[in-house]
Chain A
Amino acid sequence: MKIFCVTPAFNEANNIVAVINSVKPMVDEVVVVDDCSSDNTYSLAKQQNITVLKHIVNLGQGAALKTGTEYAIKEFADIIIHFDADGQFFAKDIETVIYPLVNNKADIVFGSRFINKQDNVGMPITKKYLLMPLAKLVNKLLFNINLADPQSGFRAMTRFSAIKINWQQDQMAHCSEILYQAVKRDLRIKEVPISVIYHNFGQKFSNGIKILVDLFLAKLIK
């Protein structure tokens, strides 16, 4: 079974080497997609003997993940993992995330920071008690999705799911779109607990508004 890890990276020179080295033993191939970084993320990743793809224009995390996922599909990956380059996730959790896929218990698995309370200890209070419940409410009201973690960036999917889920959101709205498409296409969804270390705040309230606007505009374009 070929397992690919897709890591989108934008100006992550400080973390990229450590992230690649932590993930490398857990998977068959690591694919870093450099989203036109202005620092030396690309050259550092390239030195690690892995596949590095480069966007010549900065497009956003959603677009970088899609590029990496398309590459993995082309290279006959059986399982594709999405793993951030900022060092907030733990590579040891990859085993937990892919377990339901390997055992054919799910088509797509989302790592959740909210299943175990100790997993989100460092999460900023406003994010934990305001933004996340709001995002959860939006998912429930607009898409009828009821997952513990509404904006999980750590996910794994089978090759079949990756082909089925054709997300168009280039920026952060891809999280909601992937969730929505997984539900729409009747994929077997599973959430598993993961741990996260917080180096910075991450998504702000204004980003949340932007995500909603992006999703609304995408509906109109179709």
Chain B
Amino acid sequence: MLQQIIALIIIAFFLARLFWQNQKKQITAVEFIFWLFFWVASAIAIISLKWVDRVVANFGFTASGINVLLYLSVAVLFFLVFRLRLKLNRIQQDITKIVRHIALKK
């Protein structure tokens, strides 16, 4: 129970920060919706852990709901890191174009 409260406080902190960033126009509308969905979904999953346990058991997993959430979050993190890597590669390609343009201009 205590762990759930701590987790919810942390999520509330990130949600507050998200709204503040949105108000200050530091993030785009798409980013705001994505992270809002992410944190609300996380809060719902934590509040209904017992239900998640039952769903996980119905799927035939022996691990508890919180473990499955943890595995899923690691998978999501891998995906996000991979997307970041692709984005960095695109930025690198743009930098290359600029540097080449400057080199050839002389």
Contacts and interface: CB of A to CB of B under 8 A. Distances in A.
Interface of A: 33, 53-57, 59, 63, 66-67, 70-71, 74, 168, 170, 217-218, 220-221
Given A55-B99, A55-B103, A59-B95, 7 more contacts: A57-B95, A59-B99, A66-B100, A67-B100, A71-B104, A170-B92, A221-B90
A70 B86 contact: no
Q: 6 tightest CB-CB pairs across the interface, nearest first?
A: A53-B103, A67-B100, A55-B99, A57-B99, A67-B103, A63-B96
Nearest to A171: B92
Contacts of B96: 59, 63, 170
Interface in B63-106: 85-86, 89-90, 92-93, 95-96, 99-100, 102-104, 106
A220 B85 CA distance: 11
Interface of B: 85-86, 89-90, 92-93, 95-96, 99-100, 102-104, 106
9 contacts: A55-B100, A59-B96, A63-B100, A67-B100, A170-B92, A217-B89, A221-B86, A221-B89, A221-B93
Contacts of B85: 217
A63 B99 contact: yes
Contact of A56 (B86, B90, B102): B102
Nearest to A57: B99
A70 B92 CA distance: 19
A59 B85 CA distance: 17
Contacts of B90: 221
A67 B86 contact: no
A53 B106 contact: yes
A170 B93 CA distance: 8
A59 B95 CA distance: 9
B81 to A, nearest CB: 13
A170 B94 CA distance: 11
A70 B100 contact: yes
A54 B104 CA distance: 8
A54 B103 contact: yes
